[in-house]
């Protein structure tokens, strides 16, 4: 029986959007199989060669609908101040009427699916419930993989329990007899991904792609959840969760926040090169964290699957990901081989001699375009990952001993440094970012794009309040129980322009030093920016690193950091008079240490 509050909402949206019929998603494998076979029959999906990848399918989107559209993503609060300078703001009094007009009759000729879903293990006190109404079968299929869906979740809504209302329409109604395109969507100027924190509600219109349409992901698990967390005393973060076991059998958990293209998924699925060390995946993208009665910070991965960037994923960079996508995977905007398998740039050293590209056209190595879209994706079950931890769905969460921040910086930032305190660690999180490269269409090549906590597009409220919330959270426990905070940089380059650190599985060497520091061993070198390993305390056995390169990896160049201070000061202007006092204090302390 459908809870009354849910039934009332469904009826309202039915009247507004006018779908041909309504179907509840019960979360069964048969439903999934039937729906995806229907997509193949309608030529909206392509079955991958089952001898190559069993139960795998390829979808191709419209070229206008290939990524998250940040400039069409909105935080809609009554007061602009609550949205802050990092979000696009439109008041509900303006945005709701505008979108209601777009939604009117938008599902005509289509099915409206009702998807009850849980972010986090079903029934965990950490978890939150959402219900997504959508007219996109692609969204239904992906939500089935990415979240826990169906009747078990619906049961939790008995007695009119609260849930996050998530409304999505691709914005392409069908008249009788009208042919449906392979990937229906609305023009870019009609796309809206709108968040109403005051109503715990998400409205998405016009896009069928990824985070624009899979509303449990960035929309709920970060933007809405971060606002909920602020009021309820926890954290919703853009972080991986990694389980490390030493050769002695000691287990510790770390989280890590990294901007895009900084090796986040590779680290979440790392294959350690050091003998005896074991790394297991708890989560690759999002962590919900809260302090429990023992004073320690615990985390869950609220997702049930991976929505990963395929480009660059290979047996060398991430073998665990390659094993994960060997079956039961949805691919989006990748290329197709003549054998009916998938391919993308970076998957192999040499491309095949012929492919069908992501738009369905012939492609050859001398074609002047990418075979797969640079943002091509795979959607895969987390349970299929060979490195997934046995306790990755523990409803109690896992205790966090360390938090990593990082970015892509060819200079200035050393391989690893440790914060002096939790407050100093929050400062490090606030200044993290990556250098802008020629791969980004920008006039600011060489400058640093700051991405605080890797959350710049995902903070659901004012960034100053977000930083202050982190600082307040740290006061709720004893200093000795707080996780240690580190800043890593795998991307330092030498004078020849070559990467100094090998990365990938070798990153376990840095994690080993962190592991030991958590236990209070391996005294570091104290520098102006934080604690750096002594060269002899990094395990470099069987690794060819020259003395000059090792010096570069651990160097803190005061001149470069004085320039960095100017960059940070300029960035902090974004906060205006609302810059948290602790950030100002930490910056002044850094300036003083650099003068010594």
CA-CA-CA-CA torsion sign (300, 302, 304, 308): negative
The span from the CA of 85 to the CA of 73, in Å, is 14
> 368 φ, ψ to 5°?
-90, 50
E-assigned strand segments in 158-277: 164-169, 192-196, 201-205, 235-237, 240-245, 251-257
Over the Cα atoms of the chain, what is R_g? Answer: 24
- CA-nearest of 187, 213, 223 to 74 is 223
Catalytic residue among 17, 262, 376, 385, which? 262
The span from the CA of 234 to the CA of 134, in Å, is 29
The span from the CA of 132 to the CA of 419, in Å, is 41
> 168 φ, ψ to 5°?
-140, 135
Residue 297: how many CB atoms within 10 A of its CB? 25
Q: How far is the first Cα of the chain from the last one, in angstroms, to the nearest whole number?
A: 70
User: Exposed, middle or buried, 250 (CB in 10 Å: 0-12/13-18/19+)?
Assistant: exposed
DSSP per-residue codes, 11-54: HHHHHHH--SEEEE----HHHHHHHHHHHHHTTSSEE--TTTST
The span from the CA of 55 to the CA of 327, in Å, is 6
262 a catalytic residue? yes
Adjacent-strand bridge partners of 166: 132, 202
Buried residues in 451-483 as b, exposed as e (16+ CB within 10 A) = bbbbbbbbbbbbbbbbbbbbbebbeebeeeebb
93-97: long-range contacts, CB 8 A cutoff, minimum separation 24: 95/192, 95/194, 96/196
- CA-nearest of 239, 335, 315, 231 to 282 is 239
The two beta strands, 192-196 and 73-75, are parallel
> 3-state class of 283 per DSSP?
strand
Query: Whose structure tokens read 């995806």?
Result: 36
Which are the catalytic amino acids? 262
């Amino acid at each position: 029986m459908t809870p009354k509050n849910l039934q009332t909402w469904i009826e309202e949206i039915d009247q507004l959007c006018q779908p041909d019929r309504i179907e509840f998603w019960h979360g069964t494998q048969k439903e999934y199989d039937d729906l995806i076979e229907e997509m193949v029959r309608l030529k909206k999906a392509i079955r991958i060669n089952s001898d190559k990848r069993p139960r795998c399918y390829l979808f191709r989107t419209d070229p206008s609908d290939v990524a998250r559209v940040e400039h069409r993503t909105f935080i809609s609060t009554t007061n602009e101040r609550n949205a802050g300078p990092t979000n696009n703001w439109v008041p509900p009094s303006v945005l709701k009427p505008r979108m209601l007009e777009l939604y009117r009759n938008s599902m005509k000729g289509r099915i409206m699916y009702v998807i009850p879903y849980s972010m986090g293990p079903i029934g965990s006190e950490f978890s939150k419930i959402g219900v997504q109404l959508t007219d996109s079968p692609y969204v239904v299929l992906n939500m089935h993989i990415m979240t826990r869906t169906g009747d078990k979740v619906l049961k939790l809504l008995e007695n009119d329990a609260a849930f996050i209302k998530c409304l999505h329409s691709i914005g392409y109604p069908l008249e009788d007899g009208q042919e449906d395109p392979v990937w229906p969507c609305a023009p870019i100027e009609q796309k809206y991904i709108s968040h109403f924190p005051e109503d715990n509600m998400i409205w998405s219109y016009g896009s069928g792609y990824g985070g624009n349409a899979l509303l449990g992901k960035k929309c709920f698990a970060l933007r809405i959840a971060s606002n909920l967390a602020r009021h309820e005393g926890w954290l919703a973060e853009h972080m991986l969760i990694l389980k490390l076991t030493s050769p002695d059998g000691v287990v510790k958990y770390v989280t890590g926040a990294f901007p895009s293209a900084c090796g986040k998924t590779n680290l979440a699925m790392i294959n350690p090169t050091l003998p005896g060390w074991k790394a297991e995946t708890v989560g690759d993208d999002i962590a919900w964290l809260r302090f429990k009665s023992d004073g320690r910070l615990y985390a869950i991965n609220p997702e049930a699957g991976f929505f990963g960037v395929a480009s660059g994923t290979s047996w060398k960079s991430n073998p665990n990901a390659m094993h994960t996508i060997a079956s039961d995977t949805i691919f989006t905007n990748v290329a197709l081989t003549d054998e009916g398998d998938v391919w993308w740039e970076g998957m192999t050293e040499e491309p095949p001699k012929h492919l069908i590209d992501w738009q369905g056209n012939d492609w050859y190595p001398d074609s002047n375009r990418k075979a797969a879209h640079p943002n091509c994706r795979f959607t895969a079950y987390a349970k299929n990952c060979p490195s997934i931890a046995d306790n990755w769905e523990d409803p109690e969460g896992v205790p966090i001993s360390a938090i990593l921040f990082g970015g892509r910086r060819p200079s200035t930032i050393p391989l690893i440094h440790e914060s002096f305190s939790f407050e100093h660690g929050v400062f490090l999180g606030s200044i993290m970012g990556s250098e802008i490269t020629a791969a980004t269409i920008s006039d600011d090549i060489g400058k640093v794009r700051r991405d605080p906590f890797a959350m710049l597009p995902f903070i659901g409220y004012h960034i100053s309040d977000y930083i202050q919330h982190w600082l307040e959270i740290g006061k709720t426990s004893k200093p000795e129980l707080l996780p240690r905070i580190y800043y890593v940089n795998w991307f330092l380059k030498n004078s020849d322009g070559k990467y100094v650190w090998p990365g990938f599985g070798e990153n376990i060497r840095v994690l080993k030093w962190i592991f030991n520091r958590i236990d209070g061993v391996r005294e570091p070198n104290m520098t102006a920016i934080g604690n750096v390993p002594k060269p002899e305390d990094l395990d470099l056995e069987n690794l060819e690193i020259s003395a000059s390169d090792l010096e570069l990896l651990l160097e803190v160049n005061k001149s470069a950091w004085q320039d960095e201070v100017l960059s940070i000061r300029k960035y902090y202007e974004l906060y205006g008079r609302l810059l948290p006092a602790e950030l100002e204090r930490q910056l002044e302390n850094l300036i003083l240490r650099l003068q010594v």
